Amino acid sequence: MKYKSQKVAYWFFAFSMLLLVLQLVYGFIMSFAHMGFDGLHNFIPFNTARAVHTNLLVVWLLSGFMGAAYYIIPEEAQHELVSVKLAYVQLISLAVVGVVAIIGYHFNYWEGRKFLEIPRPLDYLVVVNVLTFLGIILMTLFKGKQRTTTSLVLTMGLVFAALLYLPGMIWFDNQTVDSFFRWWVVHLWVEGVWELIMGGILAFLLIKLTGVDREVIEKWLYIIVGLTFLSGILGTGHHYYYIGVGKIWLIVGGIFSALEPLAFLGMALFALAMYRKGERNHPNKQALYWTLGAAIVSFIGAGLLGMAHTLPQVNLYTHGTLVTAMHGHLAFWGAYGMIVFAFISFAMPNLTGRKLYETVAGQLAFWLTTIGMLGMTSAFAVAGVAQVYLERRMGLDFGMVQKEIEVHFLVLTICATLFTTGVILFIYEFIKYGKPNDEALVVSE
C-alpha cells in the first residue's frame, strides 16, 4: 500500500462480502422452493427472493468495483484520494439505500421491473451516491501526477455505468418502449461498460502480478475496449426479439450476439499471454489464480454460453427459461465475481502487511467455488434443456414442468453448498487478514 487513503477500499470489500452472504441465503431459499420445499412462501414469496437475490448481486459487485477503484486510482494517479471522509459517507449511504430497498421488497415497495426493481425515490439517492463516488475518483485523477491508460479505461467504465443508469429512470406508459430502454441499463451494464471495468482491473492486476511492461499490457486494453464496443452495444438486440420491436433486431441481435464472445476471448488470451510472458514470480499465487480464473471462466460463461442461446433460432425456445439462468450464473461469477475476489486477494496483503499467500483455506476457496459454480451451471443446463423440451416443444403446462424438473435442483443445491463453502473459506481468510493499518505503508507489493 502506497497511500493511506487506499485503506477505504477495505470497507467496500467488507460490505461486498456481507451482501454476497445475504445473496447466497436468498439463493438457497429459491433453490429449496424449486425442490418443492417452499415453507417460507408466506413471508418471502419466490418473486421477492428472486428480486433480492439479483439486486444483491448487482450491489455487492458494484461495492467490489468501487473498492477496487479506491485502491487503484491513488496508485495509478500517484495522489491520495481527495476526500476519504466523503468516501466513507458514500459507503454508508450506499448501505442505507441497499437496506431500505431489500426491506422494501418484502413489503412490495418496488417498481416490479426485472433487475430494476428499486423504488424511484431510492433511484435519486443512487444517482447522488454514484455522483459522489465519481467526483472523488475524477478529482483524484485530475489532481494526480499521471493518468495511465489503465486508470482511464477503469474510470471510463465507471462513468458510462453511471450514465447508463439514467435511461432506466425514464417513465414510459408503453411496455415495449419501457423494456427497450430497460435493456440499455441491464445489457449495456453487464455486456458493455462492466467489461471495461473488468478490463481495467484485469490490466492493473496483470501489471502487478506478472511484471510485464505496462506499455504491452495497455496495448491489449485498446483491443478489448474496441471489441467491447463493437459487439456489446448492438448485441443488446438479442433482448429485443420478442418484446414488440421491429424484425430488424432479429438480424442485428443475431449478428452482434455471435460477436460478443470476442471481447471475453480477447481478455482470456490477454491474461494467459501476459502470464506466459511475465518474468516476475509473484508470491501471491492466490491473486494470480483468481485473475486467470476470471479471464477463462468469463469466456466460457459470458462468451460461449451466452452466444449459444442468444442466436434467434435457439433463443426462440430458450428465452426466459432456466437456460438463461445457466448462462447468467457462470457469466456473472466468471466475469465479475472472480475479478472482485482476485482484487481482494491482491489488495489484502498490501493493505494489512500480512502475507497469507499460500494457505489451505485460500486454495480450497478457489477450487470449491469454481467446482461448485460449474456444477450449478450444469444442473441449470440439464433442467433448462428439459424445461425447453417439455414446455416449449411438448406444450406441457409451466407448473407441471417445474414439478418434473424438481430433482435437478437437488443436484444444484448440493453444488451450491460446495460453492458456499468456498465463499465462507474466502471470507474466513478475509477476516484473518484483519483491518488495514499504517504499518503496511512500508510494505510494498
pLDDT at 217: 87
Is the separation of the CB atoms in 261 and 307 below 8 Å?
A: yes
**CB proximity list for 329: less than 8 A, separation 6 or greater:** 301, 373, 376, 377, 380
User: Which 3 state secondary structure label does DSSP give 328?
Assistant: helix
Q: Helices (DSSP H) in 189-284: which residue ranges?
A: 194-210, 214-232, 248-259, 261-277
Q: Helices (DSSP H) in 311-359: which residue ranges?
A: 312-318, 322-332, 338-352
pLDDT at 216: 86
Q: What is the average pLDDT across 166-183?
A: 90
Neighbours of 360 (CB within 10 A): 8
Distance CA 257, CA 309 (A): 9
pLDDT at 279: 65
Q: Is this structure's pTM higher than 0.75? A: yes
pLDDT, tens digit (0-9, with 9 covering 90-100), for 50-98: 999 999 999 999 999 999 999 999 999 999 999 999 999 999 999 999 9
pLDDT at 280: 66
Q: Residue 254: is its pLDDT beyond 90?
A: no
pLDDT at 130: 93
Going by C-alpha positions, the residue among 183, 278, 276 that lies closest to residue 233 is 183
Q: Residue 443: is its pLDDT beyond 60?
A: no
Distance CA 140, CA 229 (A): 27
pLDDT at 357: 83
pLDDT at 265: 84
